[in-house]
């Protein structure tokens, strides 16, 4: 018996079907060891010794692998074909050596780029040893991320209250977002005008031409800067005679883009499908590991973490066959296309992301996939096929037009483009965040000397616009251009920025929160080198050199650590005043934007002579008056207060207060305040004023008096219960928005607006909760998504608990690993999770007990049995079952 170890149960299940009874396939469930999230896990003074820890599921999987390896004739490590996969195999081998269970058993390392029978068998025929250079690069990266996070984060906590953490890649990505925000804040719109003439040929066909020159001088887009100039040009054009001066028709070709690599897949999936990078990678992982297609489990795409853009020769040949069959031979180029990686620091030389079988058309597999999986597969298939198709052929026409009025000579230009042969465009066209509109209209036939008739002259006013905020897709693209991070880190980095509440997403754009702006400004001021783009990119290059066995990984760490600790040491005597002075300078335009009337934006609107500046309080930063304590004016950073707004109480150690207006019913003042647990609304003053938290996702800057009064009116009645006739209330509690009927509470979904929730939706939530059999109060869990039945009986559901998503089977509740999305978990994965939890709780007895509880909980399909069904597990237990995961300070 040969033992083959992979990282995921889904991959194990797929491969197990390809191999015979001579093999046992076991999953490690990703990394089995990690650095404990505490000081001392990496020891620079001990030659960077690293203390790995096995706990939880890792311990169980190591024991399982150790049990299986004792009777095996060979151990085959078959984790993913990248740096992270190499590290997982290394960890497994190290753990087994510590248990001393190998005892001469040969160990082989195999890799395959696709989970197909041919690829797996070919890999097994060509084993190798673990690539120590790749492992060293992993160790260096892991140590760097740990040392930066656990050394820099405490400095942030001491010097900048409210900050959460810093990271080697995370902080540089955050700087990109914050730099863009400062560009937007500093941007000043510029007025400009365009002159467009609608002209007609002798045959009566009309087209538009733009003014591009006057009296021998070119006119650029911003050159006409006011209405007077525009009117003067318009008057001249109104009486001008128009003649075609020159016509140029130029053939052009447009070539297809290469097949997807990780970053371009994330960008296109975001733009075309609206998927976040993390979700894209979850779906791609499932397509890679294997999907049941009509009774056959097969990996549908090649490995999805890659910098490569070329394809295997057999795949190129298959693509050309599909193109000829589906689109015709004229769409097949004479020679296959070859693509090369442009990035200087490209990582492992993998193939691009492509379907494992290009003859498997999207329509053939769509019925076997979930909707999002099907869309992503179709996107990958189209991009792959298009990359080998013939170029599109176009004709781009430019017509220069002379306009003469008296002694003046004005120049206009019209442009158009027509597609002569669509080529790859018949299947696929790449979208871009910053894509400019391209004039694809066909111009009427003209030749030099033709007279043209004026139909209309338009002078339009425009204003320049600030650079757009980054979307997740455009940020990934920019990070890739700068050489920051790696394909496997982009999605995790973006998730970390959101989890730390350094950024939020509004209208699919990344908006920095105040704390994100403060952390970036602090790091730029006192650790500038470590958030420089070139420094981070050069460090990534050196890590790649480690993976190529060009430099020693510990030598790299020693050089970095010596300089880094020196920078940390320079901040020991840093005073709060120094921090405030630096932040006030960097964030001046952000905190104190210019006023419309041109007055000093730093003058206190309360006392009139004090100067506003950034202050640091116990719970974070705020803006306060220099005349404290005589003037107690405060406000949050990014919510500029109007003239005369001031806090009614508190001092410069309290969070900001913004006056929203007066309640027309009570005549009490309504204020927005920044409290210890986040922003909230308060009505009036006194010992116990009425308050309301802001719902999660509602920006303080968007709160108006109307919204505030609506929040203060909660809880409010929205409906009557269809059976009892008692009121159903909607409100905001400790755990977020809810609806309530008597002692039954139901959480409101994140997509529901607590202020807009209607009667029908409220009744649906309460009835669903009551029919689920939960106890009174906030006990019962929200209804979950049914996954199917356990082999031992009883239904499996995935639910959202207070501490994260989990799988429920009777009285067994198994928390989902962070890398596993509740939307994409399969029945097989759920069974693995609950079985592991049941065995941990009592082995075979625990599993049997869980099965009995699940069967008893399921609704009876036949006549009721004489014995009463077992009491259902309450939602309270369900919600409390998953353990809350540890928070980690360090993040790459």
Given the DSSP bridges, would you call strands 296-298 and 451-463 parallel, antiparallel or unpaired? Answer: unpaired
Sequential DSSP letters for 28-53: --S-S-B--SSTTSEEGGGTTEE--B
| Cβ atoms of residues 433 and 417 within 8 Å | no
268's CB contacts (< 8 A; 6+ apart) are 260, 379, 383, 430, 431, 473
- Using a 10 angstrom Cβ sphere, with 0-12 exposed, 13-18 middle and 19 or more buried, the burial of residue 194 is middle
Which residue is it, tokens 């009883």?
Answer: 794
Does residue 146 have an active-site annotation?
Answer: no
Rounded-to-integer distance, Cα 544 and Cα 140, Å: 10
Q: What 3-state DSSP class applies to 444?
A: coil
Sequential DSSP letters for 419-441: EEE-GGGGT-----TTPPP---P
Spatial CA neighbour of 568 closest among 542, 602, 600, 529: 529
Rounded-to-integer distance, Cα 350 and Cα 308, Å: 5
Spatial CA neighbour of 8 closest among 30, 34, 24, 33: 30
Evaluated on CA atoms 737, 738, 739, 740, the torsion sign reads negative
Rounded-to-integer distance, Cα 414 and Cα 401, Å: 8
* Both tokens assigned to 864: 């009721």
| Cβ atoms of residues 379 and 273 within 8 Å | yes
- Cα diameter, the chain: 107
Q: Identify any residues that bridge with 796 across adjacent strands, giving them in sequence order.
A: 788
Which residue is it, tokens 């650790």?
Answer: 527
Rounded-to-integer distance, Cα 614 and Cα 600, Å: 16
Annotated catalytic residue within 303, 331, 530, 590: 303
Spatial CA neighbour of 447 closest among 250, 244, 249: 244
Rounded-to-integer distance, Cα 134 and Cα 619, Å: 43
Question: Could you tell me if residue 749 is left (phi over 0), alpha (psi between -120 and 50 degrees) or otherwise beta?
Answer: beta
| Cβ atoms of residues 300 and 365 within 8 Å | yes
Residue 115 Cα distances to 119, 279, 302, 355, 767, angstroms: 7, 21, 7, 11, 45
Which residue is it, tokens 């009986």?
Answer: 793
Q: Identify any residues that bridge with 243 across adjacent strands, giving them in sequence order.
A: 402, 451
3-state secondary structure 798-864: EEEECCEEEEEECCEEEECCCCCCCCCCCHHHHHHHHHHHHHHHHHHHHHHHHHHHHHHHCCCCCCC
Rounded-to-integer distance, Cα 317 and Cα 598, Å: 67
Strands (E), 274-407: 291-293, 296-298, 392-405
Instruction: Name the CA dihedral angle for 513, 516, 521, 526, rounded to a multiple of 10 degrees.
Output: 160
Which residue is it, tokens 């070139």?
Answer: 534
Rounded-to-integer distance, Cα 876 and Cα 589, Å: 49
* Both tokens assigned to 630: 């005589």
Enumerate the active-site residues: 303
């Amino acid at each position: 018996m040969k033992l083959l170890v992979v990282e995921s149960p889904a991959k194990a299940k797929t491969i197990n079907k390809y191999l015979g009874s001579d093999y046992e396939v076991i999953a490690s469930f990703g990394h089995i060891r990690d650095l404990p999230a505490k000081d001392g896990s990496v020891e620079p003074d001990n030659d960077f010794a690293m203390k790995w820890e096995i706990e939880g599921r890792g311990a169980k999987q190591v024991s399982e692998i150790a049990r299986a390896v004792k009777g095996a004739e060979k151990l085959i490590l078959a984790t993913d074909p990248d740096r992270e996969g190499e590290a997982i195999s290394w960890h497994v081998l190290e753990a087994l050596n510590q248990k001393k269970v190998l005892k001469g058993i040969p160990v082989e390392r195999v890799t395959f780029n696709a989970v197909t029978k041919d690829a797996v068998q070919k890999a097994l025929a060509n084993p190798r040893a673990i690539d120590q250079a790749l492992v060293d690069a992993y160790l260096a990266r892991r140590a760097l991320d740990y040392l930066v996070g656990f050394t820099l984060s405490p400095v942030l906590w001491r010097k900048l209250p409210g900050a959460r953490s810093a990271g080697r890649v995370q902080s540089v990505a955050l700087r990109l977002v914050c730099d863009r925000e400062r560009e937007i804040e500093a941007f000043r719109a510029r007025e400009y005008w365009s002159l467009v003439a609608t002209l007609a040929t002798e045959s009566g066909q009309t087209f538009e031409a733009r003014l591009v020159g006057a009296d021998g001088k070119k006119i650029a887009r911003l050159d006409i800067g006011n209405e007077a100039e525009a009117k003067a040009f318009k008057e001249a054009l109104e009486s001008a005679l128009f003649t075609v001066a020159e016509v140029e028709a130029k053939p052009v070709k447009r070539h297809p883009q290469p097949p997807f690599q990780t970053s371009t897949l994330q960008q296109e999936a975001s733009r075309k499908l609206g998927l976040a990078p993390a979700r894209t990678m979850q779906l791609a992982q499932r397509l890679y590991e294997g999907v049941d297609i009509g009774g056959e489990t097969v990996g549908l795409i090649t490995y999805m973490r890659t910098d490569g853009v070329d394809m295997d020769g057999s795949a190129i040949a298959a693509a050309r066959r599909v193109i000829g069959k589906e689109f015709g031979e004229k769409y097949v180029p004479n020679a296959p296309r070859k693509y090369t990686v442009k990035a200087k620091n490209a990582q492992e030389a993998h193939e691009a992301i492509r379907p494992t079988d290009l003859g498997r058309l999207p329509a053939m597999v769509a019925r076997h996939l979930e909707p999002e999986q099907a869309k992503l597969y179709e996107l990958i298939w189209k991009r792959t096929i298009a990359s080998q198709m013939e170029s599109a052929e176009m004709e781009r026409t430019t017509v220069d037009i002379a306009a003469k009025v008296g002694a003046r000579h004005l120049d206009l230009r019209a442009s158009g483009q027509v597609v002569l042969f669509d080529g790859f465009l018949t299947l696929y066209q790449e979208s871009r965040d910053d894509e400019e509109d391209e004039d694809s209209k066909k111009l009427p036939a003209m030749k030099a000397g033709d007279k043209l008739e004026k139909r209309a002259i338009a002078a339009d006013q425009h204003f320049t616009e600030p650079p757009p905020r980054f979307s997740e897709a455009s940020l990934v693209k920019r990070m890739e251009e700068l050489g920051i991070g790696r394909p496997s880190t982009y999605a995790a980095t973006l998730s970390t920025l959101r989890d730390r509440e350094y950024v939020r997403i509004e209208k699919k754009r990344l908006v920095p929160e105040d704390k994100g702006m403060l952390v970036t400004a602090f790091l730029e001021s006192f650790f500038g080198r470590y958030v420089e783009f070139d420094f981070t990119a050069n460090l990534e290059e050196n890590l790649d050199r480690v993976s190529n066995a060009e430099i020693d990984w510990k030598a790299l760490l020693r050089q970095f650590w010596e300089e880094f600790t020196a920078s940390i040491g320079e901040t020991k005597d840093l005073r709060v005043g120094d921090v405030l002075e630096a932040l006030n300078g960097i964030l001046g335009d952000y905190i104190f934007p210019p006023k419309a009337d041109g007055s000093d934006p730093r003058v206190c609107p309360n006392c009139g002579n004090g100067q506003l500046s950034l202050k640091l309080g116990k719970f974070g930063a705020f803006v306060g008056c220099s005349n404290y304590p005589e003037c107690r004016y405060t406000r949050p950073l990014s919510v500029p207060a109007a003239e005369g707004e001031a806090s009614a109480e508190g001092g410069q150690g309290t969070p900001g207060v913004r006056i929203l207006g007066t309640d027309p019913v009570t005549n009490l003042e309504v204020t927005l305040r920044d409290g210890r647990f986040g922003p909230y609304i308060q009505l009036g003053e006194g010992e116990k004023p009425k308050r309301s938290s802001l719902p999660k996702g509602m920006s303080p800057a968007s709160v108006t008096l109307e919204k505030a009064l609506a929040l203060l009116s909660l809880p409010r009645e929205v409906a009557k219960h269809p059976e009892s006739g008692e009121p159903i209330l909607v409100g905001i509690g400790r755990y977020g928005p809810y609806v309530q009927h008597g002692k039954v509470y139901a959480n409101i979904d994140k997509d529901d607006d607590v202020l807009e929730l209607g009667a029908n939706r409220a009744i649906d939530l309460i009835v669903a909760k009551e029919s689920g059999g939960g106890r009174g109060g906030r006990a019962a869990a929200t209804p979950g998504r049914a996954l199917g039945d356990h082999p031992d009986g009883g239904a499996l559901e995935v639910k959202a608990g207070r501490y994260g998503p989990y799988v429920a089977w009777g009285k067994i509740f198994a928390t989902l690993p962070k890398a596993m999305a509740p939307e994409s978990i399969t029945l097989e994965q759920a069974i693995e999770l609950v079985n592991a939890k049941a065995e941990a709780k009592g082995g075979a007895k625990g599993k049997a007990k869980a099965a009995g509880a699940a069967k008893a909980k399921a609704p009876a399909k036949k006549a009721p049995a004489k014995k009463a069904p077992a009491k259902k597990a309450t939602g309270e237990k369900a919600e409390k079952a998953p353990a809350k995961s540890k928070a980690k300070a360090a993040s790459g």
